[in-house]
Amino acid sequence: MSNQRLIYGFHAVNARLWQNPKSITELYVLEGKSDARTREVLEKAAAENVRLHFADAERLNALCKGARHQGVAGFVDASKNHVHLEDVLDNLREPPLLLVLDGITDPHNLGACLRTADAMGVHAVIAPKDKSAGLNATVSKVACGAAESVPYITVTNLARTLRELKEYGIWIVGTDVGGDADLFHCDIPDSVAWVMGSEGEGMRRLTREHCDMLVSIPMFGTVQSLNISVSAGMVLAETRRQRGQ
């Protein structure tokens, strides 16, 4: 049971049904619900031979601990979507674009980062196993399906992983208010891993020391910092813009 993970909401469940249906151990649908989205879930679940249960609202609410489940929830075998970093890098057909999250413990922030990463075509999101939010139902819900599409790779030693990325020819670029250059006036390397720390504390010292370059995000208003997913969206979008030139 330790590998069982709850997912809920149409985005998370549909993404799992279409991308990795064999990892779903059982699916719960609100009895009597027959709208188009629910019918789509039921049809796909039947086609993939997913074990299906119809449950009343009280059962679903208890299962999801009061979260907004939209009448659909399920359990997945988390061990069946484990991905190794080498597998990702060895199968790319374009320069790697990676996002490294150092010390992001809030599941809402992680979910938002995964959604942003998916939108910007990030090949993998990397995080240390300790002091980081793990994939859970909240992350899947906030990510709107991106938790099922973007490889989320947790590593035991982040500093060692950054050194391994350099061996692949990938530049390690960190975001920092005191960066060597600002985002809009620097040449972003073709192969890049963007490293971002928590909004309050930033990157850890050892992580910062492994960065090849530090880049700041220009601020033109009165706020002193940005949410991690907003910052990620800005640096990833600028990376894609420069690649397209």
Please state the residue numbers annotated as binding site for S-adenosyl-L-methionine.
197, 217, 226
Beta-bridge partners for 215: 175, 181
Encoding tokens for residue 20? Answer: 């990795």
What's at 159, amino acid-wise?
A
The kind and range of the H/E element at 159 are helix 158-167
**Contact residues for 157 (Cβ-Cβ < 8 A; gap 6+):** 128
Cβ atoms within 10 Å, residue 51: 12
- Of how many residues is the chain composed? 245
CA distance 57 to 145: 23
Annotated binding-site positions: 197, 217, 226
